[in-house]
Amino acid sequence: MLRITRKLDKPLVSVDGPASQAVTLSLPYDDRKRGRLSCTLSDGRAAGLFLERGRTLLDGDLLQAENGELIRIQAAPEPVVEAHADDWESFAKVCYHLGNRHVPLQIGQLWLRFQPDHVLEDMVQLHGLRTGQALSPFQPESGAYGAHAHGHSHEHPHGHSHEHTHEHSQGNS
């Protein structure tokens, strides 16, 4: 089994260089968040990821095996909900509500993607967005604390108990 142990910080961008000849590893989002994983490369070989935990692999990231071989990450198509808005106000409100729930979101121009959840899909529809199921690579925003998603590794504890109160009104959401 090929042991993949290193994520390269700087991708090798040469079209004809070693990175262009790297075998690929196609993974869905939840697997790209894992540091330890048994997997199969695009050439059919068995491999294992043994990477630093807490970093999400992004489409195009370059990894290196113990033997020096390069492996390029590919975001695998997976089931997602796609939602489309007709106006920026309803789009912004939906992004706010989903973000407030810490939902991983891939955001585009008046569209977004999230992992299937019928409760969230109903909420998005209540705000006027059109939804549908799709099979697409899922590459959510990494968050405010880094270029790569690092989980909740920012400086304060991240429980959901707060010293202040929240008021939620049904009126103008």
What is the bridge-based pairing of β-strands 106-108 and 130-137? Answer: unpaired
CATH of 2-75, one of 3.30.540.10, 3.40.718.10, 2.60.40.1930, 2.60.260.20: 2.60.260.20
- Contact criterion met (CB below 8 Å) for 73 and 131: no
The distance from CA 94 to its chain's CA centroid, rounded to whole angstroms, is 18
pLDDT at 114: 98
The span from the first CA to the last CA of the chain, in angstroms, equals 52
Whether the pLDDT of residue 51 is over 50: the answer is yes
Beta pairing class for 2-7 and 62-65: antiparallel
Q: For 77-137, CATH number?
A: 3.30.70.790
Contacts of 125 (CB under 8 A, 6+ apart): 131
pTM for the model: 0.76
Locus of tokens 């290196």:
64
The reported pLDDT for the residue numbered 20 is: 62
- pLDDT tens for 60-83 read 999 999 999 999 999 999 999 999
What is the maximum span of the chain, computed from C-alpha positions, in angstroms? Answer: 60
pLDDT band at 159 (very low <50, low <70, confident <90, very high): very low
Higher pLDDT residue, 47 or 54?
Answer: 47
Local confidence band at 22 (pLDDT 50, 70, 90 cut-offs): confident
Q: Over the stretch 106-146, which tens digit does the pLDDT of each residue have?
A: 999 999 999 999 999 999 999 999 999 999 999 999 876 65
Which residue type, as a one-letter code, is found at position 129? L
Average pLDDT, the chain: 84
Q: Which of 78, 73, 77 is nearest to 55 (CA)?
A: 73
Res 154: pLDDT: 38
pLDDT-derived band of residue 15, with 50, 70 and 90 as boundaries?
A: very low
Domain ranges for the chain, please list them.
2-75, 77-137
